[in-house]
């Protein structure tokens, strides 16, 4: 399955981020905990190369703690600052504010010596649908940015202020202009970082079923009360359709409805907490 989605607003977003670099002190790089490696956009390297970076493994409630710990250890071994966050609540607020001030301690001290108080300004970046805006809203304790559980909701820059001397710049989610790694592209499509409108959902569902043939197979079989995943493509869909009651007259498979169900079941954690990327696979 060949995936390509890079609309014009993403080009504008990357240009805007580059222009805003002089206005910020650090970068908050938000990753989806289900696919941290796939969420790393090479185009952001120019942004993160010269600024302190805080990596946030967002939506950590969607993965097993054991897998999350592997990623936290991975970033720690690389000398990167990384924390886990549940985008549905703001319990990490004070910790994140303190970390941002630690990362920018030198510039804060520089201003203090001049008798001035320095606010830390952080640019929040990430691929679409990693929960950047919800993450910011939880830090602020109110709905100050536009959110949505799909790719491409945030289109322009949005500055928001915290009461602790921290300002955050929300930015539109951006994907790489081209995917060199098909596996990473698929993982982004699985978690909804690629707009469904540009995908063939039946092909995407088939890729998911193929994934489950080699990973978390028991969870897939349990969900659809199957003893095995059929080898034939049409029979794979038929097995799921029969389990979900998506058969049409004449014994035909409702492929569109069945495919949508498989994709939705994955995104709604009906197969359990699954991490698509693991450090040992890199």
CA 226, distance to chain mean position in Å, is 30
The answer to whether position 85 is within a domain reads yes
Q: Is residue 178 part of a domain?
A: no
Q: Report how far residue 235's alpha carbon sits from residue 244's, in angstroms, rounded to the nearest whole number.
A: 14
> Does 25 map to a domain?
yes
Structural domains counted in the chain: 2
Residues 23 and 132 grouped into a single domain? yes
Statement to judge: residues 97 and 29 lie in one domain: yes
User: How far is Cα 40 from Cα 54, in angstroms, rounded to an integer?
Assistant: 13
Which domain CATH number covers 233? Answer: 1.10.1580.10
Residues 56, 138 share a domain: yes
Provide the pLDDT for residue 148. Answer: 45
The answer to whether position 177 is within a domain reads no
CA distance 101 to 210: 45
Position 141 scores a pLDDT of: 74
Q: Answer whether 160's CB lies under 8 Å from 170's CB.
A: yes
8 Å CB contact between 139 and 90:
yes
The pTM of the full predicted model, rounded to 2 decimals, is: 0.90
Within this chain, do residues 165 and 205 fall inside the same structural domain, yes or no? no
Tokens representing residue 39 in the block:
């969420």
Tokens for 80, please give them: 């990167």
The pLDDT of residue 140: 82
pLDDT attached to residue 152:
42
Q: How far is CA 122 from the centre of its chain?
A: 19
The boundaries of the domain holding residue 241 are 200-281
Work out the angle at residue 144's Cα, subtended by the Cα atoms of residues 143 and 145, and round it to the nearest 5 degrees: 100
| Residue 187 falls inside a structural domain | no
Q: What is the largest CA-CA distance in the chain?
A: 81
End of a domain among 115, 150, 170? 170
Query: Are 32 and 163 within one domain?
Result: yes
The H-or-E segment that residue 17 falls in is: helix 8-20
32 and 191 Cβ atoms separated by less than 8 Å: yes
Domain boundary among the residues 152, 170, 188 is at 170
Per-residue pLDDT of the chain (282 residues; tens, 9 = 90+): 777 665 567 778 888 888 888 899 999 999 999 999 999 988 888 777 789 999 999 999 999 999 999 999 999 999 999 999 986 666 778 888 899 999 999 999 999 899 998 999 999 999 999 999 888 888 887 655 544 444 444 445 678 888 778 999 999 888 887 777 889 999 999 999 999 998 999 999 999 999 999 999 999 999 999 999 999 999 999 999 999 999 999 999 999 999 999 999 999 999 999 999 999 887
Same domain? For 239 and 133 the reply is no
Note the pLDDT of residue 3.
Answer: 75
Model pLDDT, residue 175: 85
pLDDT of residue 259: 98
Query: Does 263 reside within a domain?
Result: yes
Residues 121, 255 within the same domain: no
Helical residues (DSSP H) of 104-181, grouped into ranges: 105-113, 132-140
Decide: residue 181, CB within 10 A, 0-12 exposed, 13-18 middle, 19+ buried: exposed
User: Looking at the domain assignment, is residue 192 inside a domain?
Assistant: no
| 127 shares its domain with 265 | no
pLDDT at 150: 46
């Amino acid at each position: 399955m060949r995936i390509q989605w890079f609309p014009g607003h993403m080009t504008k977003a990357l240009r805007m981020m580059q222009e805003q670099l002089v206005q910020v002190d650090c970068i908050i790089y938000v990753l989806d905990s289900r696919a941290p490696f796939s969420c790393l956009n090479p185009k952001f390297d120019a942004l993160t190369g010269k600024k302190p970076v805080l990596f946030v493994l967002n939506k950590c409630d969607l993965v097993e703690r054991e897998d999350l710990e592997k990623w936290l250890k991975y970033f720690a071994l690389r000398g990167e600052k990384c924390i886990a966050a549940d985008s549905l609540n703001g319990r990490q607020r004070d910790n994140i504010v303190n970390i941002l001030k630690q990362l920018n301690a030198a510039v804060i001290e520089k201003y203090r010596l001049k008798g001035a108080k320095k606010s830390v300004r952080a640019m929040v970046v990430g691929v679409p649908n990693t929960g950047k805006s919800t993450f910011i809203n939880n830090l602020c304790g109110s709905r100050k940015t536009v959110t949505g559980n799909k790719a491409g909701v945030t289109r322009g820059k949005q500055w928001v202020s915290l009461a602790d001397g921290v300002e955050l710049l929300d930015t539109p989610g951006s994907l790489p202009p081209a995917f060199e790694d098909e596996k990473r592209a698929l993982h982004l499509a699985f978690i909804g970082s690629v707009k469904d409108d540009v995908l063939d959902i039946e092909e995407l569902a088939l890729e998911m079923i193929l994934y489950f043939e080699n990973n978390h197979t028991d969870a897939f079989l349990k969900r659809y009360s199957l003893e095995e995943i059929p080898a034939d493509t049409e029979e794979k869909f038929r097995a799921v359709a029969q389990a979900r009651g998506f058969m049409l007259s004449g014994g035909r498979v409702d492929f569109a409805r069945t495919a949508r169900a498989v994709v939705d079941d994955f995104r709604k954690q009906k197969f359990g907490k699954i991490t698509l990327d693991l450090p040992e696979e890199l």
